[in-house]
Structure formats: C-alpha cells, structure tokens
Chain A
Amino acid sequence: MKKRVLEVENLTKKFGKFTAVDSVSFEMYEGEILGLMGPNGAGKTTTLHMLLDLTTATSGTVKLFELGYKDARVEILSRVNFSSSYISLPSTLTVIENLTVMARVYGIGGAKRRKEIIDELMRLFEITELAKHSTRGLSSGQLTRVCLVKALLNRPEILFLDEPTASLDPDIADKTRRLLKSIRDERKISILYSSHNMAEMEEICDRLIFINRGKIVATGTAEELLKEYNEKSLEEVFLKITRSSGSDNKKAETGRA
C-alpha cells in the first residue's frame, strides 16, 4: 500500500457569509500527481493556501505526513514547497541571488552544496544562462521557471503548484510538464497541481479532483471521469459539470486570487 502524504478532511473556508471551500475531503499519496481542477472561483487557490497554512481554515483538518501545522509547522514547511503564477521574487536581485537566499532560508548549508543544487535545477529548467540576470528583466515564462526552481530547492516531498504553466508558451509548458513528471519519477515527490487547462491535466495527472463552487463534484482518473460522464475529453466533462451545476464565473472575475 502506498504511503499517504496528505490527508484533508472536511476542509471549509468561509469569507464572511460566502463559502469559498465547502467541506472538502481528499487524500494524496507518495509519488502521485493529483490535479485540482475547476472553473474560475471554484476554490482551488483557497484550498491550496489552506494546505500551506497561508489562510486559516474555518473548519476541518489538514494533515501532511501525519503532522498538523499547529505542532509541526517548521517541519512541514521544510518538506513541502509551493509555486504559483502569482508569485514573484525580489526584482532587484539576480536570479542566482534570489535562489541562494531561498536555499539558505530552507537551511541548505554550505555554499558549494547550494551552488550544486541550484546549478543542477537551473540546467534542468534551461535557465542557466539567466543566472546573472536581474529578476526584473525576466519574461513571465522565465520567471515561472525560476519560481519552479525555487520550489524544488529543498527537495520537497510535496509540491503545491497553482496554475504553474499559466504563462508558459505551449512548447515550454510541455517541457515543464515532462520535467515535473520525470522529477516525480526520480524523487517520488507528490504534486498537487491546479489548472483549468484540461488537456494538460489529462496529460500530467494520475488522478483528478474536480471542484465547483467550493465542493468536490467528481474525482477519479481521467479515464474514470470520461467513462462516468460519457464524454471523449476532459474539456467536455468540464463543461458538462460546470453547466449542469452552474459555476461562479461572475464572482470569480472580481475575486481572482
């Protein structure tokens, strides 16, 4: 039986009267790439932020490696990492400086070891030549890759990625997905991956969780979902689910996180 690395039970987030995440429960296993999909405003980002203790849940429990944030915050955060298309890094620093700072914050000791780790990841993500560039001058695709390198510095056991490929061109996005997959194969890392690009979800994820209006409405492998909804592509499943249960697009446009 596979090792469980994440256990979420009845996770709920209310902002005032509005329920953004509604009693969500799921598990993630070692080496699994789990997709969190759903329309704008479904509650994907809010869920990820609660799993990272950036946002406090209204109720429910989150256990990572059987540990809770209350007692083991430092340990948990040392063993996971996060990237999103919404974050950035200090723009006046060069890429290598930013990565060095983060490596030190994650307690990676020894200048030589830090350099080895950073160099290897930069090579993997094909950004070696950007090392001495100021972060300000990067294109959004380059920045995304730098942030992904940051997210792998501490050899995380769980990687939380919020729409990581949103600003990448199809070629780089494809390469990035392959890379993440190969890193997963090699390091047995688990990845929780949010996106509304259905084709990409189908390609990279072992299992999918579909949320709409804060609730889990469907879950399973891509094949299982296609079968269940009797459709040929996830895109059609997506449309079927959101249109039958109604999505929250209007609100999402103003409250994008």
Chain B
Amino acid sequence: MNIQRILGFSTRYLYLYKRSLPRLMEIFYWPVIDLLLWGFVGIYLKKHQGTGPDIIAFFLGALILWDILFRSQQGISISFLEDIWSRNLLNIFTSPISQTEYIVTLLLMSVIKLILASTVMVLLAWLFYTFNIFTFGLALIPLAANLIIMGWSIGIITTAIILRYGQQAEVLAWGIAFLFQPVSAVFYPVDVLPGFLKTVAWFVPASHVFEGMRTVLDGNPLPLDQVFIAALLNCAYIMVAILFFNWNFKAVKRKGLLVKNGE
C-alpha cells in the first residue's frame, strides 16, 4: 500500500467538493433536517410525558449515531458511483493504484465526510436542544467506531454489487443502510422486536451499539459486553465484505465488466 497514491487520489474528492456546491450541501442537508425534525418531536413528547428519561437525548443521540453509520456507508458507495458516472474507472485501474488503495481512499473519504456531518449535527444539537453528545464521554469512541466499521462493511459490499451488476444496483447506495435500521434498534430497545427479529438484531452490530447508548443515557456505565459483541461481529463482517469485494472484482475482470461500467 502506497500512501502517496492514496493521498494523491484523495485530492480528487477534495476538488470535487470544492467545486460542487450541491455535493457539499448533500453532506449537511439530511443530517440537519433530521436533527431539526427529531429534536422538535422530542420537545413535543417531553412536554406531554413530564418526567422520565430524557427523550430528546434519546432521539438526538440515536440520530447522530445512526447518521455516523449511514454516512460511513454512503461515503464509500457514493464516491465509487462518482467514478462510474464520470467514466473514470479505467483511468483509475490502468494507473498504479491498486484495488486495495482505491478502497482505502474511499474509506478515508467516508471518514472525512462523516466527521464534517457529525460536527455540524453535534453543534446544532447543542445549540438548539442543549443536547451535548459529549455527555457520553469516552463511551462515544467505541460506539462510533463500531458504527463506522459496520458502515464500511455495508459500503464495501454495496460497491462490489454495483461493480458487478452495474447501474441497476445504484439504488442500493442510497437505500441499503435503511434495510438494517429496523433491526438496529436505533430508536427503541431490542425488546420491542418480535422473537425472530430479536435473533436477527443480535447479529447486527448496530443493535448492540444502540442498546449501549441507551444504557449510558440512563446513567449507567457503558456495557462492555455489548461493545465487545459488536466489535467481534464487525471484525467478521468487514472480513467477509473484503473477501466479497475481492471475489467480485476478480469475477468482474474475468467477465470483462470493469470496462463496461458507466456506459
């Protein structure tokens, strides 16, 4: 792996966001809208509910953390689509950049994008609803890291599918994360799920993260067992994702489809 090539290729995205206001706005648009919406819903519910756990914190914490997962996935899939749309894949793969370096560049971009989006969300949550995400303290780090890695796994798998099946699979880039939302227990505990989905949820790293988040918001210490299970699952999934990508990349080269993307 060559850092110079990765950094060199990353400048392409920096130029892109510098040039394209709509793309730049896209990083912030949904997070801000979501935050406003759920913040107000929280305020409204709180008025009627009186005492009890801080419902605004539940919503906003969930939202900010969910957005980390979503951005991390999108950062990869959308950046890849940019290269398909601009018929750039052939330039990339006839250059010395390897498929690993390419993917690492996408991961890097996803982190940069999500840091930008999260920063804005955290600031707005604090300004509008006096919700301070840092009340999570150090717990925030393992929670966020797990979500980022889960997002990467989904993003890499999505990318592999788009590479193989072309633009008809593009819709995945936008929608696939939401497939996991119901079983990620983002806004409600895993308990409310019916039996079968509970089992499914156990295998979704995000469900452990959001259970952990609620435990912390209730004033308890971070449940390390949950974090640990999430981390183990994530290790397994990211490896599966990388194997899946490599396997597809090989198949795509064999079928001569690498060169057909974007046509």
Contact = CB atoms under 8 A, between A and B. Distances in A.
A6 to B, nearest CB: 15
Interface in A217-257: 257
Contacts of A196: none
Contacts of B94: 52, 54, 77, 80-82, 160
A43 B255 CA distance: 14
Residue of B95, B98, B255 ringed by the most chain A CB atoms within 10 A = B95
B20 A92 contact: yes
Contacts of B4: 104, 107, 109
B219 interface: no
A84 interface: yes
Contact of A89 (B23, B91, B98): B91
Contacts of B239: none
Given A105-B8, A107-B96, A91 B253 contact: no
A77 B260 contact: no
B253 A54 contact: yes
Interface in B222-263: 250, 253-256, 258-260, 263
Interface in B91-146: 91-98
Contact of A54 (B82, B97, B259): B259
Interface residues of A, number: 43
Contacts of A212: none
A1 interface: no
A141 B82 CA distance: 23
Contacts of B19: 92-94, 97, 134
Contacts of B7: 104
Nearest to A84: B90
A42 B164 CA distance: 25
A86 B96 contact: no
Contacts of A73: 96, 98
Contact of A55 (B2, B20, B259): B259
A49 interface: yes
| Secondary structure class of chain A's binding surface, majority of residues | mixed
A197 B97 CA distance: 33
Interface string A48-62: 010011111000000
Contact of B11 (A45, A100, A109): A100
Given A55-B259, A106-B95, A90 B12 contact: yes
A88 interface: yes
B15 A93 contact: yes
A192 to B, nearest CB: 13
Contacts of B259: 45, 49, 54-55, 257
Contact of A90 (B86, B97, B253, B254): B86
B46 interface: no
Contacts of B83: 90
B90 A105 contact: no
Contact of B258 (A15, A55, A92, A98): A55
Nearest to A153: B95
A72 B83 CA distance: 25
B87 A88 contact: yes
A87 B245 CA distance: 24
Given A86-B87, A90-B88, A74 B98 contact: yes
Interface of A: 13, 15, 20, 45-46, 49, 52-56, 73-74, 77-78, 80-82, 84, 86-94, 97-98, 100-107, 109, 134, 150, 160, 257
Given A56-B254, A92-B23, 15 more contacts: A15-B256, A46-B256, A53-B253, A54-B258, A56-B250, A74-B96, A82-B90, A82-B91, A82-B94, A86-B90, A88-B87, A101-B15, A104-B9, A105-B92, A257-B256
